[in-house]
């Protein structure tokens, strides 16, 4: 009954007026950026990070989490109504969701996606409650060697499951690890790559880097594309109620999507986008009428929507229990915790039960809020889409600059935003993805710590990583993942999963 | 032509370049031994790996060049970057309002169409918004115009 007590404690924390308010703010901001193309959760969270310093840690994390799962809700609204995916995770929803809307079933598509997401969110939350304590107990047996191997696995898995060239992504991870080492060496106090800049001696701040890579570079890229006037013709919403037939088809698809999404969310590098694509492929394979897909199949909306939300929830599991982020947003959440003076890892659950259970409870509350925010207010969100990009990007730029400044009240960080904006633009042009870089950057300092400690304990014997069973197991899985990538068959499958119909 | 503007070729060179840069700049850091690692041990290890990966990507691009780099447009990247840098220089010295105006104007000039009236309006709205959110709402210690408010 320990578990039940924890959950009750969690709801006690999450239901306080202040935390409810921050949860609501997070969900609103999340929906907003989900609706607006051109700004994603990574840039938003980085931008708002400095503002959360003054908040208590629990409220801060509740709000940031709300932005993350709120974005995937908002993204699907525009995917269905105007064929514009607000987020990468709702790209698949445009395939059948928009077709449904054109057939006059926009209301049904929206409510199915909202109900599916809510069901998936609830299921994901229950999974966290059940599995987090187990994983935490396991993680407490980990020594430095195991941690180091676990991080290696996390980084490699993130690369293999992401889209794009694998070798370039791996190089991005290493570049991130290297840049993450900037600052004072913990063991010797030596200055590394600090160029005598005092702001760098505490280590390089990841928030301005994330703003530059995901905010500024994104804006520059969008301005280049020469988007013409956006013709937004929103489909009319009639009744929100699905027909009996639609409900019959959607229900099992939601369950399958939730299951697959929950599994993929836990995997490092999985996350909502992969979950949505995979579950769409799965539904199409299982369906008796695969020719309906792409023409407004209900399952093609229900399953990916459930899957992306389930994955958004379960991707918190490795972050909360092991301190290992599985995607770029989780990397920022790890950073947010460190800023608040909390070392992410298995101790969070035992030492900060309020924070841990409060955050989980708030996710369920947030999911319920999102259904309420989204369905009745849909008209308002869609109208926001008509705001031209030329009004939007100066505001994003401005908030990035002020956010970076307020990190430490120093213009040095604003300069960093400018520098990493240019670097991010170069990455963009060369087809190098920012997410693996950010993961490496956040994990770099910890990984070095664990590596050095493990080597010290083993008296310089590098085989320690292979002689300890758990560590060896983790490294074997890492090696297998890398091996998979060499197999032509798997590579083809992987590319298919990311380019479904286009 | 295709070969020369390959994305892979240049990204490989970039990674190798970063690796070499890290090696050169970290040459003063003591490497130490595997048991007692100095501050330079891990950076050096990472630099070598990065150079290796970079060269591998270059080698691959020589065999199959892959995608070519799309044409660069200089206007957005230069205007936006200058905007952010000017903001950084002016924010403490002159205050939020002048920094904001410069940033918004430079950013608008980097866009596809520049409309003077709209840009002026955007400056006014955003200044008001910032005053409300940051100065009054979050009571941050920033001055709107240095020496005045």
ipTM of the complex: 0.93
Query: Quick check: A225 contacting B, CB < 8 Å?
Result: no
Q: Does the pLDDT value for residue A133 go beyond 80?
A: yes
pLDDT tens for each residue of B13-27? 999 999 999 999 888
Residues A398/B104, Cβ–Cβ less than 8 Å: yes
| pTM for the full predicted model | 0.86
Our CA-based measurement puts residue A490 at a distance from the nearest CA of chain B, in whole angstroms, of 20
Find the mean pLDDT for residues A326-343.
Answer: 85
Interface touch A220/B80, C-beta < 8 Å: yes
Interface touch A193/B26, C-beta < 8 Å: yes
Our CA-based measurement puts residue B8 at a distance from the nearest CA of chain A, in whole angstroms, of 7
The helix (H) or strand (E) run that includes residue A192 is strand A191-192
Nearest C-alpha in B relative to A437: B15
Binning pLDDT at 50, 70 and 90, where does residue A227 land? low
Residues A212/A416, Cβ–Cβ less than 8 Å: yes
Query: Quick check: A167 contacting B, CB < 8 Å?
Result: yes
Other residues' Cβ atoms within 10 Å of the Cβ of residue A448: 24
- Euclidean distance between the first and the last CA atom of chain B, given in angstroms as a whole number: 57
Binning pLDDT at 50, 70 and 90, where does residue A1 land? low
Q: Please give the DSSP secondary-structure letter assigned to residue B69.
A: P
**Closest CB from B53, B99, B108 relative to A174:** B53
**Which residues of chain A have a CB within 8 Å of the CB of B46?**
174, 177-178, 181
Our CA-based measurement puts residue A422 at a distance from the nearest CA of chain B, in whole angstroms, of 7
Report d(CA A11, CA A232) in Å as an integer: 41
Distance of CA B94 to the CA centre of its chain: 23
Q: Residue A363 burial (CB < 10 Å; 0-12/13-18/19+)?
A: buried
pLDDT tens for each residue of A70-120? 887 888 888 888 777 777 778 888 888 888 888 888 888 888 888 898 999
For residue A1, tell me if it sits in a domain: no
Structural domain count, chain A: 1
Q: What is the residue-wise DSSP string for A42-67? A: HHHHHHHGGGGTTS-HHHHHHHHHHH
Residue A414 has a pLDDT of: 93
Range of the domain at A293: 10-498
Nearest C-alpha in B relative to A462: B34
Report d(CA A287, CA A292) in Å as an integer: 9
pLDDT tens for each residue of A426-472? 998 998 888 889 888 888 888 888 898 888 888 888 888 888 888 99
**What would the two tokens of residue A325 be?**
């982020």
Chain A window 380-419: which residues touch B at a Cβ cutoff of 8 Å? Answer: 390-391, 393-395, 397-398, 400-402, 405-406, 409, 411, 414-415, 417-418
Find the mean pLDDT for residues B47-65.
Answer: 92
**Which of A247-256, A417-426, B29-38, B47-56 is predicted with the least confidence, judged by mean pLDDT?**
B29-38
Residue A231 has a pLDDT of: 52
Most confident of A203-207, B83-87, B135-139: B83-87
Query: Quick check: A426 contacting B, CB < 8 Å?
Result: yes
CA angle A455, A459, A461 (to 5 degrees): 65
Q: Does the pLDDT value for residue B43 go beyond 60?
A: yes
pLDDT tens for each residue of A282-309? 888 888 888 888 888 888 888 988 998 8
Angle of helix A328-339 versus helix A41-48 axis, rounded to 10: 10
Residues 6+ apart with CB under 8 A from A5: none
Report d(CA A45, CA A390) in Å as an integer: 22
CA distances from A118 to A264, A305, A308, A379 (A): 18, 10, 11, 20
Find the mean pLDDT for residues B81-99.
Answer: 92
Long-range contacts of A499-502 (CB under 8 A, 24+ apart): A500/A92, A500/A95, A500/A277, A500/A280, A500/A281, A501/A95, A501/A294
Torsion of CA A379, A385, A386, A388, to 10 degrees: 160
Residue A229 has a pLDDT of: 46
Residues 6+ apart with CB under 8 A from B131: B96, B144
Residues A259/A78, Cβ–Cβ less than 8 Å: no
Residue A500 has a pLDDT of: 47
Q: Does the pLDDT value for residue A235 go beyond 80?
A: no
Report d(CA A42, CA B14) in Å as an integer: 24
Residue B2 has a pLDDT of: 67
Interface touch A460/B33, C-beta < 8 Å: yes
Find the mean pLDDT for residues A234-247.
Answer: 74
Q: How many helices (H) and strands (E) does chain B have?
A: 5, 0
Residues A313/A127, Cβ–Cβ less than 8 Å: yes
Report d(CA A436, CA A175) in Å as an integer: 9
**Which residues of chain A have a CB within 8 Å of the CB of B5?**
none
**Which of A221-235, A394-408, B114-128 is predicted with the least confidence, judged by mean pLDDT?**
A221-235
Other residues' Cβ atoms within 10 Å of the Cβ of residue A458: 18
Residue A502 has a pLDDT of: 36
A362: nearest Cα among A33, A69, A47: A69
**Which of A238-252, A311-325, A333-347, B95-109 is predicted with the least confidence, judged by mean pLDDT?**
A238-252
For residue A64, tell me if it sits in a domain: yes
Q: Residue A141 burial (CB < 10 Å; 0-12/13-18/19+)?
A: exposed
Tell me what the pLDDT averaged over chain A comes to: 84
Find the mean pLDDT for residues A170-182.
Answer: 92
Nearest C-alpha in A relative to B100: A398
Our CA-based measurement puts residue B123 at a distance from the nearest CA of chain A, in whole angstroms, of 9
Regarding beta strands A191-192 and A183-184, do their DSSP bridges make them parallel or antiparallel, or are they unpaired?
antiparallel
Binning pLDDT at 50, 70 and 90, where does residue A270 land? low
Q: Residue A437 burial (CB < 10 Å; 0-12/13-18/19+)?
A: buried
Percentage, residues of chain A above pLDDT 70: 93
Residue A228 has a pLDDT of: 47
The residue to which tokens 């489909």 are assigned: A235
Residues A246/A112, Cβ–Cβ less than 8 Å: yes
Report d(CA A374, CA A372) in Å as an integer: 6
Residues B45/A211, Cβ–Cβ less than 8 Å: no
**Which residues of chain B have a CB within 8 Å of the CB of A145?**
none
The residue to which tokens 């008796």 are assigned: A288
Question: Would you say the C-alpha torsion A452, A457, A462, A463 has a positive or negative sign?
Answer: negative
SS3 state of residue A493: helix
CA angle A216, A214, A121 (to 5 degrees): 140
SS3 state of residue A468: coil
Residue A175 has a pLDDT of: 95
Interface touch B37/A455, C-beta < 8 Å: yes
Our CA-based measurement puts residue A203 at a distance from the nearest CA of chain B, in whole angstroms, of 14
């Amino acid at each position: 009954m320990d578990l039940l007590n924890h959950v009750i404690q969690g709801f006690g924390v999450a239901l306080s007026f202040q935390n409810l308010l921050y949860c609501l703010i997070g969900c609103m901001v999340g929906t907003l950026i989900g609706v607006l193309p051109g700004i994603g959760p990574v840039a938003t969270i980085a931008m708002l990070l400095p503002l959360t310093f003054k908040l208590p840690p629990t409220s801060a994390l509740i709000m940031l989490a709300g932005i993350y799962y709120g974005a995937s809700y908002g993204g699907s609204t525009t995917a269905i109504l105007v064929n514009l995916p607000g987020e990468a995770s709702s790209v698949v929803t445009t395939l059948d969701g928009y077709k449904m809307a054109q057939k006059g079933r926009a209301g049904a598509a929206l409510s199915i996606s909202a109900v599916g997401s809510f069901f998936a969110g609830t299921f994901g939350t229950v999974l966290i409650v059940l599995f987090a304590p187990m994983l935490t107990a396991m993680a407490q047996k980990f020594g430095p060697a195991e941690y180091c191997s676990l991080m290696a696995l996390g980084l490699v898995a993130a690369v293999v499951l992401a889209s794009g060239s694998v070798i370039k992504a791996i190089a991005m991870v290493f570049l991130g690890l290297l840049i993450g080492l900037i600052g004072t060496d913990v063991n010797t106090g030596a200055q590394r790559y600090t160029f005598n800049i005092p702001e760098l001696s505490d280590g390089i701040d990841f928030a301005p880097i994330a703003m530059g890579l995901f905010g500024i570079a994104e804006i520059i890229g969008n301005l280049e594309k020469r988007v013409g006037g956006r013709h937004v013709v929103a489909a009319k919403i009639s009744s929100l109620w699905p027909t009996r037939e639609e409900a019959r088809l959607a229900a099992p698809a939601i369950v399958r999507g939730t299951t697959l999404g929950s599994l993929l969310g836990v995997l490092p590098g999985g996350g909502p986008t992969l979950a949505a694509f995979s579950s769409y492929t799965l539904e199409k394979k299982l369906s008796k009428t695969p020719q309906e897909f792409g023409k407004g199949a209900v399952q093609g909306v229900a399953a990916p929507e459930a899957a992306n939300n389930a994955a958004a929830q379960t991707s918190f599991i490795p972050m909360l229990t092991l301190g290992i982020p599985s995607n770029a947003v989780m990397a920022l959440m790890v950073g947010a915790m460190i800023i608040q003076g909390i070392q992410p890892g298995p101790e969070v659950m035992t030492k900060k039960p309020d924070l841990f259970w409060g955050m989980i409870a708030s996710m369920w509350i947030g999911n319920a809020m999102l259904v309420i925010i989204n369905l009745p207010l849909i008209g308002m969100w869609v109208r926001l889409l008509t705001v031209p990009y030329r009004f939007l990007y100066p505001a994003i730029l401005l908030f990035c600059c002020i956010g970076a400044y307020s990190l430490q009240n120093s213009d040095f960080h604003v300069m960093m935003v400018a520098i990493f904006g240019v670097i991010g633009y170069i990455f963009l042009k060369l087809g190098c993805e920012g997410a693996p870089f950010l993961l490496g950057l956040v994990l770099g300092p910890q990984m070095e710590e664990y590596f050095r400690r493990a080597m010290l304990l083993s008296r310089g014997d590098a085989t320690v990583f292979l002689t300890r069973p758990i560590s060896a197991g983790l490294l074997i899985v890492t090696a297998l993942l890398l091996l998979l990538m060499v197999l032509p068959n798997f590579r083809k499958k992987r590319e298919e999963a990311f380019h479904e119909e286009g | 032509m295709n070969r020369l503007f390959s994305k892979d070729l240049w990204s490989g060179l970039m990674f190798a370049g970063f690796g070499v840069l890290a090696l050169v700049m970290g040459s003063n850091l003591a490497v130490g031994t595997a048991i007692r690692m100095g501050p330079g041990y891990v950076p050096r290890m990472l630099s070598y790996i990065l150079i290796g990966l970079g060269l591998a990507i270059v080698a691959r691009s020589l065999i199959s060049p892959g995608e070519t780099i799309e044409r660069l447009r200089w206007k957005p990247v230069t205007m936006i970057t200058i905007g952010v840098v000017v903001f950084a220089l002016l924010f403490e010295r002159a205050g939020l309002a002048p920094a904001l105006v410069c940033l918004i104007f430079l950013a608008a000039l980097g866009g596809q169409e520049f409309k003077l009236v709209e840009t002026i309006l955007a400056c006014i709205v955003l200044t008001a918004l910032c005053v409300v959110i940051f100065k009054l709402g979050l009571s941050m210690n920033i001055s709107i115009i240095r020496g005045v408010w």
